[in-house]
Amino acid sequence: MAYNHSIIGRHYEQDILQACVNSPRAEFIAVYGRRRIGKTYLVKHFFDEKFDFYTTGIYKVSRVEQLRQWQAQLYKYSGIKRSRPKDWFEAFAQLQEYLETKKEQKYLTVFIDELPWMDTPKSGFIRALEVFWNSWAADCKNLKLVVCGSATTWMTNKLLGDKGGLHNRVTRPIRLAPFSLNETEEYLKSLNIEWERSEILDAYMILGGTPFYLSLLRPELSLYQNIDDLFFGMNATLNAEYNFLFTSLFNDATLYRRVVETLASKLKGMTREELIQTLKLTDNGLMTEVLENLKKCDFLRCYQPFGKKGKGMIFQLSDMYTLFYLRFVKNYHGLNEEAWSKMEESRRNAWAGYAFEQVCIHHIKQIKQALGISGIASDVCSWNYKDEQQGAQIDLIIDRSDKSIDLCEIKYSEKAYELKKDYVEWMRERRELFKEKTGTRKSVRLTMITSSGIKPGKYSSAIQGKVTLDDLFHE
């Protein structure tokens, strides 16, 4: 299909939306994803803001205020003044009455944004939506109902996971993920920001692929100046974002912050049991729910150590913005508005090494493509071994179904990385230890993922797999 060029990337999502428009049946489309990820932008620009009805929920206001907003929007689209609905059942009945006057159109598009905010305590909202869909909308074959919500847990648990009358009623769920490096580069160009890929990588390691955060970058400033302005300046926009990010997503924001900040102190990750013990919580299933919700909102990833399928799941904080904020901003009480520009290079480099690892984890698809194994089924995991004599940690392992394993070494550097004899010997020893302790019979390959490539030299041929920064920028 021809994609809307005002939308950066999102080709898969546009394909789904177009399929819904062409569908001969009523469609109930739920677009969800974390705050600032571009859900509203996608829907509005895909449909060119041509809706038969559009409204949005309002953050933390009463049911009366939500219904007043609904009333105003219904008047705007229908041109008919109606009394303010006394409850959500009447509100949806009024919407149905209006839409029935337009049933002869090719299709009807209704967009309800920030749906979770309408579901105030004891409002009956979800049941009213259920009655609207089941009693009328589902049989209106030209209706396309699109709903959005930043409160991802509400969208997945109360809408997609409803056990009542809305069970399995959503016909097309669309989860919107952060931009990739490729999409980030394209988006920055649309903002007239022409940076080298190394600078785009650095921006990504701080802001992640969240479109709104990237939109705040100013083309007339360098990357360092932008970070100073956004995090350390007098009116630092992204300094206050952290707290609101959690309160807008989760009811018990304090607990979610505690979990995230605990994981930030253990960069290699923790098991569910370790988190419960560290936070001194009761093992009653709550932690499982919290971790699942944080995963759905792209704050963390979970993985299993090599050879331990079904047990020992490790949870690791992987959200770039949160990692940067907790490392450098949360406890910064200085008055230096150029804190990032003037920070010691050693502190920046220590953080960049770990941040680049997370960027690579976000781009496994591109790594597999660069290694020529896109069509081969594989598991991504890690491996940790320690006894009284020796130990080893491998953060990224690609365990392939073609009887091969890639042991990935990830290196961030501003210049091409020079492989030296002692380092290559260390990698080989670690490979032999891995083979010995795991008992694997697969072929084990040494693979390097580097931000600036590998410098040609005597020992560069010791590496079987090589992935460069340009590889990570592929679609």
**Confidence (pLDDT) at 310:** 63
Rounded to whole angstroms, the Cα distance separating 16 from 32 reads 14
- Whether residue 5 is contained in a domain is answered as no
**Confidence (pLDDT) at 6:** 84
Which of 144, 175, 206 corresponds to the end of one domain?
A: 175
In this structure, the chain runs to a length of 475
Q: Same structural domain for residues 238 and 330?
A: yes
Q: Same structural domain for residues 357 and 373?
A: no
Q: Same structural domain for residues 193 and 324?
A: yes
Task: Please give the residue range of the domain that contains residue 224.
Answer: 181-362
Q: How many domains does the chain have?
A: 3
Q: Can you give the pLDDT of all 475 residues of the chain as single tens digits? A: 567 778 999 999 999 999 999 999 999 999 999 889 999 999 999 999 999 999 999 999 999 999 999 999 999 999 999 999 999 999 999 999 999 999 899 999 999 999 999 999 999 999 999 999 999 999 999 999 999 998 888 999 899 998 899 999 999 999 999 999 999 999 999 999 999 999 999 999 999 999 999 999 999 999 999 999 999 998 899 998 999 899 888 888 999 999 999 999 998 899 999 999 999 999 888 999 999 999 988 999 998 888 777 668 899 999 999 999 999 999 888 778 899 999 998 999 989 999 999 999 999 999 999 999 999 999 999 998 888 778 888 989 999 999 999 999 999 999 999 999 999 999 999 999 999 999 999 999 999 999 999 999 999 999 999 999 999 999 8
- Whether residue 1 is contained in a domain is answered as no
- Whether residue 111 is contained in a domain is answered as yes
Q: Provide the β-strand partners of residue 301.
A: 316
Q: Provide the β-strand partners of residue 446.
A: 407
Taken in order 154, 160, 161, 164, the sign of the CA dihedral is positive
Is residue 259 within 8 Å of residue 272, measured between CB atoms?
no
- Whether residue 420 is contained in a domain is answered as yes
Q: Same structural domain for residues 111 and 230?
A: no
Rounded to whole angstroms, the Cα distance separating 119 from 199 reads 42
User: Which CATH number characterizes residue 386's domain?
Assistant: 3.40.1350.10
**Confidence (pLDDT) at 184:** 97
Q: Same structural domain for residues 278 and 352?
A: yes
Q: Same structural domain for residues 448 and 376?
A: yes
Is residue 53 within 8 Å of residue 69, measured between CB atoms?
no
Which of 175, 192, 221 corresponds to the end of one domain?
A: 175
- Whether residue 4 is contained in a domain is answered as no
Which of 339, 362, 385 corresponds to the end of one domain?
A: 362
- Whether residue 21 is contained in a domain is answered as yes
Q: Same structural domain for residues 348 and 406?
A: no
